[in-house]
Structure 1
Amino acid sequence: MTRTAGSSGKKTLAAIREAGLDLIHEHGFEAMSLRQLATRVGLQPGSLYNHIETKQDLLFDLIHNHMVTLLASIDDALDGIEEPIERLKAFIAFHLTYHIERKREVFIGSSELRSLEPKNRRKIVALRRDYENRLCE
């Protein structure tokens, strides 16, 4: 994929995130290089820093966005369902569907948790706990 001259920063950042998901899913976070990422997006390696600060920030951003989407989506799926058994059924149906449809994000969110710096890991673990707590509401 080559970058289109005059493309917007938002489109470029979206392309970086998408390529980051692909590369981390394919190779793992530690094996993915920023040079590979830049090549995939069609940027010079130094140009990445106009959009991301560090490789760690990219990983945190990808996992954090996944968790925020997961939480918003489960809240939508459970909205208006009051009966505990029906909430459990809705949670299970949502959980399975979401995890099938977003395999890359789920895989990275689980397998690359170990690659996050401690402060970032704590934030993601807290979001995961929030998700799990939806079962107790």
Structure 2
Amino acid sequence: MPTRSRDQRSTRGPSIRLAALELFTQHGYGATTMADIGAAVGMRGPSLYKHVTSKQQLLAEIMVGTMDALITEHDRAVSGTDDPGERLRRATEAHVRYHARHRLEAFVGNRELRSLEEPNLSRVLAMREAYEHGFRGLVQAGVDTGRFHVTSARLVSYAILDLGMGVAVWYREDGELSENQVVWQYGEFALRLAGAAL
């Protein structure tokens, strides 16, 4: 019996997080109740609490999971080459592609940061800082080797991150441009922001 309970928890967890993500996007974290989340997955309160301890836990799992995925994709993108321009392009493309494919996570991640409580807030802020530092380091490496020409690597990293996050707002699969077209163009934008000779 305990084994079945663990199995149920592992299989229901993703559907509960998805329901929470959709409700946080539609109504906001503050206006969403655990009863709302339970209703979305066909569960009453007592049953829901067998799978998740609180609404805050769900928000933290969503936001930490988002940052984990972004950092993992960033590290994968820049591996295999030492060329500063290629590393920045690949990192930007991974950033943009994630935001094109995970619009709800991006929306909740930006809007609901204020709703995180400690220690979740500090954990997510540290992950966001590490992610930004990854981009800043790529730009600075290009400056150090004479490939990029900017006065502030920090400012360029912020601009690139903002560009990618904006994609989550407007991009649609059935829109004018394909995902690959958007990703490639944003890679070009990043290199221009870094002052690279194209």
Q: TM-score, normalized by length of structure 1? A: 0.90
User: Higher relative contact order by CA 8 Å / sep ≥ 6: 1 or 2?
Assistant: 1
Question: 1:121: how far off?
Answer: 1.0
Amino acid at match of 1:104: L
RMSD: 1.3
Name the counterpart of 1:85. Answer: 85
Displacement of 1:42 in angstroms is: 0.8
Stretch moving more, 75-84 or 7-16? 7-16
C-alpha distance after superposition, 1:71-129 (max 9, x if no partner): 11111111112111111111111111111110111111111000001321111010011
Q: 1:56 maps to what in 2?
A: 56
Name the SS of the counterpart of 1:17 in structure 2.
helix
Distance 2:84 2:92 in 1: 12
Runs of 4+ in 1 over 3 A off after TM superposition: none
SS in 2 for 1:134: helix
Q: Which runs of no fewer than 5 residues in structure 2 stay unpaired?
A: 1-6, 139-198
- Distance across 1 between alignment mates of 2:70 and 2:80: 18
Corresponding residue of 2:101: 101
Partner of 2:23: 23
Structure 2 counterpart of 1:111, which letter?
R
In structure 1, the residue corresponding to 2:53 is in which secondary structure?
A: coil
Q: How many Å apart are 1:36 and its aligned residue? A: 0.8
**Percentage identity across paired residues of the two chains:** 34
Question: How far does the alpha carbon of each residue in 1:10-65 deviate from its partner, in whole angstroms, 9 at most, with x for none?
Answer: 12111101111111111110011111100111111121111111111111111111
Structure 1 counterpart SS, 2:32: coil
Distance 2:9 2:119 in 1: 28
Structure 1 counterpart of 2:158: none
Q: Which ranges of structure 1 fall in alignment gaps of 5 or more residues?
A: 1-6
Q: How many pairs does the alignment contain?
A: 131
Does the CA-based 8 Å contact 2:78-2:88 persist in structure 1? no
Larger radius of gyration: 2
